[in-house]
Amino acid sequence: MTRSTTRRSAAIAIALAVLTPVIAACGSQEQTSGCTPRAIAWLGARTGPARRPPFQNGAELAVHLYNQAHPECPVGYISFDSQGDPDIATRLAQTIVDDPQIIAVVGPGYSGESSKALPIFELAGLPNVTASATNPDLATQGWTVFHRVSGNDAAQGPASAAFLAQTLKVQRVAIIDDGSLYGKKLADLVAASLGERGIVVAPRGTVDPKGVDYRATVEAIAEIGVDAVYYGGVTEPGVRLLRQMRDAGVIAAFMGGDGVFDPSFISGVGSGSAGAYATCPCVDPGLTDTEARQQFRSDYEVFFGDAPVGFTMEYFDAANLLLQAIESGVASREAMDRWLDNVDIPGLTKQLSFTENGEIRVGPIQVLQVISGRFVQVGAVVDGRFVAG
């Protein structure tokens, strides 16, 4: 060996010795085990006045059943309680995106919190699937991560108007909302649609969702004398509005959106709730017409000891979509978003496939009425026409 080759080889030896720790440091520190820990998050109201536990129960049941079938690699289910408050949801959304295990979100439960949480999810590329945030504007903000497994209020509003005009044959309708993003938009859509049909909308008002005394609104309704009152908003203010209306002797028909489609609405209002209408872009949770729905119903009752409500089945579908993606090997937020954009599979409530905006491709609007203390489906609005049954 000549001197120069010795020198060169020694130089390489030193370079290697110096570089080895650097190369080692650049290497991934992730350990490769058979099961990568992955989780989906729930964001919605679990406590507080806007609580709708059966929403998240649908998602939780799906995860529970999945984990029973996949004990070797269970998927985490992390529940974030926003109380339906957009400000709390903003804070929680940040917490959610900070957790690298979370690759998708079920929810947010309401439109208001969605409008605050989604920009944060969008920034983090974290896909969501909601069912009960029905404000149509959510799909048109350019949020690529947004997905909704139920119809939106752009369909629900005109459907309600069609029902009021064609079936109830109203002439004058009072429209009240609770000031929330969801309630106001839905009320506006109904008002616009009624206006197009030449039906008088008056009075058009808003109640304070945190207030308890709606006398001023109720008196205005009573004074003008309307055929029907349409309420856009969540359950609690709706309960107070209808109770105070009936207490004041207002007998006009009452109709609300999916916000009032909840057993707590009936129990809250009491006997005055009889005959009230609700619409929902969801499937009647009492349906047990298919084997899958029967199975769901019995699983739900075993697990939670009570019956599902509106959107419970939709949330079961939403969580199941994410779980099927995980089962098929999806392990990142980005892959999940892509998977959701291309999915086309049958769900419990409908065929699950999304438009470019993240809206579900098919979704009927059900009309329900309180009969003998519970909501009964009286028909559905299809293509602007009410079909009984």
Is the CB of 11 or the CB of 382 nearer to another protein? 11
The 374-382 sheet, strands edge to edge: 200-206, 172-177, 228-232, 253-256, 277-280, 365-371, 374-382, 385-388
The token pair that represents 82 in the structure block: 């926003």
User: Minimum CB separation from another protein for residue 119, in Å?
Assistant: 18
Minimum Å gap between C-beta 88 and another protein is 9
| Residue nearer to another protein on the CB measure, 22 or 388 | 22
Phi, psi of 380 (to 5 degrees): -145, 150
| Burial (Cβ within 10 Å: 0-12, 13-18, ≥19) of residue 254 | buried
- Going by C-beta distance under 8 Å and a sequence separation of 6 or more, which residues neighbour residue 125? 145, 333, 334, 337
* Residue 61 CB, nearest approach to another protein (Å): 10
Structure tokens at 177: 């909302």
CB-nearer residue toward another protein: 37 or 346: 37
Q: How far is the CB of 139 from another protein (least distance, A)?
A: 28
Which CB sits closer to another protein, 203 or 263? Answer: 263
| Neighbouring residues of 279: CB distance < 8 A, sequence distance ≥ 6 | 156, 159, 160, 163, 255, 256, 257, 258, 261, 365, 366, 367, 368, 381
Residue 121 C-beta: closest distance to another protein, Å: 15
Which residues of this chain interact with another protein, rule CB under 8 A?
1, 3-15, 18-19, 21-22, 25-26, 37, 39, 46-49, 51, 53, 60, 63-64, 74, 76-81, 83, 95, 98-101, 303-305
Q: In terms of C-beta distances under 8 Å and separation of at least 24 residues, what long-range contacts does 139-146 make, across chains too?
A: 139/357, 139/358, 139/359, 140/357, 143/118, 143/119, 143/358, 144/337, 144/358, 145/118, 145/121, 145/337, 145/358, 146/118, 146/122, 146/357, 146/358
In the bound state with another protein, the residue whose beta carbon lies nearer, of 101 and 355, is 101
Minimum Å gap between C-beta 277 and another protein is 24
Least distance between another protein and beta carbon 263 (Å): 13
Nearer to another protein, 60 or 122 (CB): 60
3-state secondary structure of 317: helix
DSSP state of 148: B
Of the pair 39, 159, the CB lying nearest another protein is at: 39
